[in-house]
Amino acid sequence: MTSMNDAVITDVTTTVLRQPDLPGIQDATIRHRESGRSSLFVHLKTNTGHEGLGSGITVSREIIERVLKPLLIGQDPLCIEKLWDDMFWRVRGFGRKGVAFCAISSVDIALWDLKAKLFGVPLYRLLGPFTDRVPIYGSGGWTSFSEEELVREQVGYVERGIPRVKMKVAKDFGRSEAEDVRRLAAVRKAVGDDVEIYVDANNGYYAKQAIGMARHLSDYDVKWFEEPVLADDIAGLAAIARAISIPVATGEHEYTRYGFKDLIASGAADIVQPDVGRVGGVSEWMKVAHLAAAFNLPVAPHAVQLVHLHLACCTPNLKVVEYLGTAEETDRIWYTEFPEQRDGWWSPFPDKPGLGLELSPEAVRKYAV
């Protein structure tokens, strides 16, 4: 019988699933709302019969299959740091940020899922847990919602026992300031004073505009102001962070520990928001969380909630985990099962190795592209 110490990667394949009927979403800077939802899944197969599962964005499929796969075949899947370094330097000329790094992230997630399966433990147990349950917030509040739809969604999270919610502002690329305030006021009135509200501008304001808007946000006890300006405007983020009392949350569009080093050292983030699907996978996400801890800053990961659930359990400086209603909709289609949140707290499956996720054969049959 082949032992895990003899494991070798024998194949790398991908699956793309698309559900064409779910409604599209829109925030401050998404210009065109498209219907349907898609996801990419990476399968790392080994001679031991174990298989690692990663997830990501569909446009990275060709990079995974044509650029990264040849580096991985025949390699020891336990040597994740070496494999990450090989992938990093392979895309050096075209992938310091963006799609190529999303591809690396998807493969790295699959490597860690595989490693935990080889050891027969949940991923959070392999990484070394700080806790086995984490707080979540209900996330959505899309600018494409009417005010009535917005309130209904946000109240819906509270009715499920989640005492924290997030909504979008900077509607129409920041050109609807009065409407932003009205919508926030409606949500605050509907959820009451005991629920935490976070707002996300999705890069939609300018720095001076965001500073002015923060005065209005303070009237409704907003607990963080996310991505108030373009993610690359680190100087603008730092100026906002210095000028307002609401914590600035940012980082979902940053890549690698090097990008976060510049972001944090510039004083541009009060709450650090790495995205495991962009930053470089589990390997780089954990490094960023440790970097944030070195600056005494909390971490609140962006999206990719079924992976972040495990990483968050290993992060002493965690603030809260994003729980997107749109992701929950597709996760219920893509996977056979996943752990359910209870009253705003969430725990991984304690007895399923790896991420504890399995693609639904029915979903693959029905929605594979």
Residues 6+ positions from 141 with CB-CB distance below 8 Å? 150, 153, 154, 165, 166, 167, 168, 187, 200
Mapped onto helix, strand or coil, the DSSP state of residue 321 is strand
| Beta strand 134-139 pairing with 321-324 | parallel
User: Is residue 329 a contact partner of residue 22, using CB atoms and an 8 Å limit?
Assistant: yes
| Longest Cα separation, the chain | 67
What is the distance between the alpha carbons of residues 79 and 328, in angstroms, rounded to a whole number?
32
302 noted as active-site residue: yes
Beta bridge partners of 17: 39, 368
User: Structure tokens of 337?
Assistant: 């099962």
Q: Is 226 within 8 Å of 200 (Cβ atoms)?
A: yes
Distance CA 77, CA 46 (A): 8
Burial level of 192, CB count in 10 A (0-12/13-18/19+)?
exposed
User: Which candidate in 166, 302, 308, 352 is catalytic?
Assistant: 302
**Cβ neighbours of residue 174 under 8 Å, at least 6 residues apart?**
28, 201, 204, 205, 206, 209
Separation between Cα atoms, residue 183 and residue 216, nearest integer Å: 12
For 58, 107, 369, the CA distances from 90, given in Å and listed in that order, are: 20, 14, 27
Catalytic residue of the set 168, 253, 310, 319: 168
State yes or no: is 223 an active-site residue: no
Environment class of residue 34 by beta-carbon count within 10 Å: exposed (0-12), middle (13-18) or buried (19+)?
exposed
Give me the active site residues, please: 168, 302
